[in-house]
Amino acid sequence: MISRRALELATAVLTGGFGVAVVIQSLDNGIGWSSAGVEAGTFPFLTGTIIVLGSLYNLVRGALPVASLANVPIAITPIELRRLAGLFVPAAIFVAAIPLAGMYVASALYVFAVLAIPRHQSVPRALGMAAATALALYVVFERMFQVSLPHGALAAALGF
Amino acid sequence: MDNLGELLHGFSIAVTVPHLVLMVVGVLLGILVGVLPGLGAPNGVSLLLPLTFGMQPVSAIILLSSMYWGALFGGSVTSILFNIPGEPSSVATTFDGYPMARDGRPTTALATAFGSAAFGALIGVILITFLASWVAQVALAFGPAEYFAVYFLAFASFVGMGGAAPVKTIVALAIGFAIAAIGIDTVSGSVRLTMGVDELVKGVNFVVAVMGLFGIGELLVAVEEEFHARAVSSKIDWREVFRAVGRLPRHGVALLRSAAIGCWMGITPGGPTAASFMSYGIARRFSRRGRYFGTGEVEGIISPETADHAAGTSALLPMLSLGIPGSATAAVMMGGLMIWGLNPGPMLFVDQKDFVWGLIASMYVGNIVAVALVLLTVPVFAALMRIPFVVIAPLIVIICVVGAYSVSNSYLDVVMMLGFGIVGYLFKKLFYPLAPLVLAIVIGDKAEDAFRQSMLMSKGSLGIFFANKLVTCLIVAGIALLLLPLVLQLAKLRRKPASPSTETTAQEKVII
């Protein structure tokens, strides 16, 4: 179970961290005024500062027990968390597999795994849908629009 | 009456067989993404974007804008029949649309929604027809300082009127600006904010951000709640369609008021979602039958639908004449304009008359096509909703992955898209607004350039933003909007010292 407060804090830390990174990076480009006008780092520096300040405000507001947050103390229940993971984890594995297996094989495996392993569909139907997905991708992108999707290291090793 | 002449010329461009076919294709694809939860107008339009690179700009914009109309209509279909809003902007339609459909009047609910939506869109297009070229004329005299002031006003109005927590809006905006700055700086040529990743030199494409924020993010929000597509009957009784549309003029006041709210929220970038909620809220307060809202009231459907479509349509006005999109989808379309080599802004009305008036004429025709198609295809798309979500979800993930990859054939984009997905989920969950984030990614560079050019002109003095009446007014209005939430907060504190701010979840839903 994740409370609304924890989620608010985590998000504020995330945005604040990004803001700090932007501020530090922008210093490399120089901030302020030079003979060529406003230096390249100035605008990012300002936005970074605004992000940091805003995140600090959100952090404090998230930490304080304010009435508006008390309305929904629980942001994500355990069941919801399981459903979220059920969608996101396979998707992340799918994306991680693309460089190796290529878009077609990876997406077919992904569709098959998501449908067959939790038994949402029977194995033959899942196989059919997986094959249809890969084929549709191939026809639409490689053939119709001439966009080459990554074939993957495995296909390259096999000589495709 | 120059405009009417130009408009007629526009019709001669829009009403040709290839363009009518594009409209039908666009509307159908739009209804599809509108109906599917997890796919919305912004990422539907960005998915189609790479496929338009070989087209004439006017054909491409007709395809994309038709898709937008289709998505706006498609979102209402699922709101009314399934109580599942297919688009954030049709959330308010569920309040009265679904109860009416459940009571055995689905045709009445759908026809009322589509009829008032078409009315809202019509008012929006008429506004564009008569106002856009005039605004562009005024804007032709703009220098960099005026431009920066207009951008500033647009961003400030998100903070002041967007409805989200102001500081969250500011953070979202600033993150968008920072993302826009990644890559090569157009003025000095130096490389910025790459965080040591060489591939980031090319910058972060807004399509990648939109795919993640709206696609994966919305999917994650959708998967949390289990879907029960308990549909009411989706059969269309054609006689009832005409009867329901015939009854609409009786609610003339509600129609006009909602259209006005929609147009206002569309032009000042509040967006269709905020417009539909605001319109519903105002209708409930002022309608004589306000007490019955939520049980299937006709005006409870008319108000959000009219405002939604009026806002969606008029969001294209500032995009065309000033180069400032009024909604997230308009921002994506504007990104397309820049990719096709057009320069959004007042010069369009001088250099690209065919494009502008072809688009405006196509909006009249496209909305008629959309109403006809959506009525004809309701049963088909309703059947689509019976496909289990577990089957649709992985397909949407694949679409987003391929869409992000095909922008510039980069694997890093896919990984970033997934990252944006997590951000999108967190932001939606905590009511950070996403539209200003996308808007800032698309026009952040232009706003920065305008600022730096005006600084060059004035040799570093901020006085240039108060140099003449126009620019002073714009800046002062922007600052006023920025301070508006603060003033309201203080006023509330003075009136009721101890009462806590009451942000209800229903209100918070406004901010998507």
> Distance (Å, rounded) from C-alpha B270 to C-alpha B161?
7
Q: Is the pLDDT of residue B48 over 80?
A: yes
Which member of B409, B422, B452 has the closest CB to residue A38? B452
User: Which residue shows structure tokens 């989620």?
Assistant: A7
Average pLDDT estimate for B461-483: 89
Mutate to test the interface with A, among B148, B151, B175, B443 (most CBs of A within 10 A): B175
- Mean pLDDT by 10-residue block, N- to C-terminus, for chain A (160 residues)? 86 95 88 80 92 94 66 76 91 94 92 87 90 89 77 78
Of the ranges A133-137, B227-231, B287-291, B437-441, which one carries the lowest mean pLDDT score?
B227-231
Element (H, E) at A2: strand A2-3
Would an 8 Å CB–CB cutoff place B219 in contact with chain A? yes
> Distance (Å, rounded) from C-alpha A142 to C-alpha A154?
18
Q: Which amino acid is at B249?
A: P
Confidence (pLDDT) at A62? 83
- Which residues from chain A sit within 8 angstroms of residue B416, using beta carbons? none
> Distance (Å, rounded) from C-alpha B227 to C-alpha B415?
28
More confident call, B82 vs A18: A18
Q: Is the pLDDT of residue B512 over 50?
A: no
More confident call, B237 vs B107: B107
> Distance (Å, rounded) from C-alpha A38 to C-alpha B460?
8
Would an 8 Å CB–CB cutoff place B226 in contact with chain A? yes
More confident call, A107 vs B379: A107
Q: Is the pLDDT of residue B322 over 80?
A: yes
Q: Report percent pLDDT > 90 for chain B.
A: 31
Contact between B394 and A22 using a beta-carbon 8 Å cutoff? no
Q: Report percent pLDDT > 70 for chain B.
A: 94
Q: Is the pLDDT of residue B53 over 90?
A: no
Q: Is the pLDDT of residue B420 over 90?
A: yes
Which member of A40, A107, A147 has the closest CB to residue B188? A40
Mean pLDDT estimate for chain B: 86
Mutate to test the interface with A, among B398, B405, B493 (most CBs of A within 10 A): B398
- Which residues from chain B sit within 8 angstroms of residue A29, using beta carbons? 185, 188, 190, 192
Contact between A54 and B174 using a beta-carbon 8 Å cutoff? yes
User: What is the number of residues in chain A?
Assistant: 160
Confidence (pLDDT) at B207? 85
B residues 418-437 lying closer than 8 A (beta carbon) to A: 418, 421-423, 425-427, 429-430, 432
Q: Is the Cβ–Cβ distance between B276 and B308 less than 8 Å?
A: yes
Of the ranges A101-105, B224-228, B500-504, which one carries the lowest mean pLDDT score?
B500-504
Element (H, E) at A38: strand A37-38
- Which residues from chain A sit within 8 angstroms of residue B456, using beta carbons? 37-38
Contact between B391 and A147 using a beta-carbon 8 Å cutoff? no
How many Å is the maximal CA-CA distance in chain A? 70
Q: Is the pLDDT of residue B348 over 80?
A: yes
User: What secondary structure letter does DSSP report for A142?
Assistant: I
- Which residues from chain A sit within 8 angstroms of residue B415, using beta carbons? 95
CB contacts < 8 A, A to B, total 179
**Tokens at residue B361, please?**
């004429």
Of the ranges B291-295, B303-307, B409-413, which one carries the lowest mean pLDDT score?
B291-295
Coil, helix or strand at residue A33: strand
Residue range B153-189, pLDDT digits in tens: 888 888 887 777 889 999 999 999 999 999 888 778 8
Going by pLDDT thresholds of 50, 70 and 90, the confidence category of residue B507 is very low
Confidence (pLDDT) at A140? 81
Of the ranges A18-22, B232-236, B337-341, which one carries the lowest mean pLDDT score?
B232-236
- Which residues from chain B sit within 8 angstroms of residue A4, using beta carbons? 430
Confidence (pLDDT) at B230? 61
Q: Chain A residue with minimal CA distance to B189?
A: A40
Q: How far is B145 from chain A (nearest CA, A)?
A: 14
Confidence (pLDDT) at A72? 61
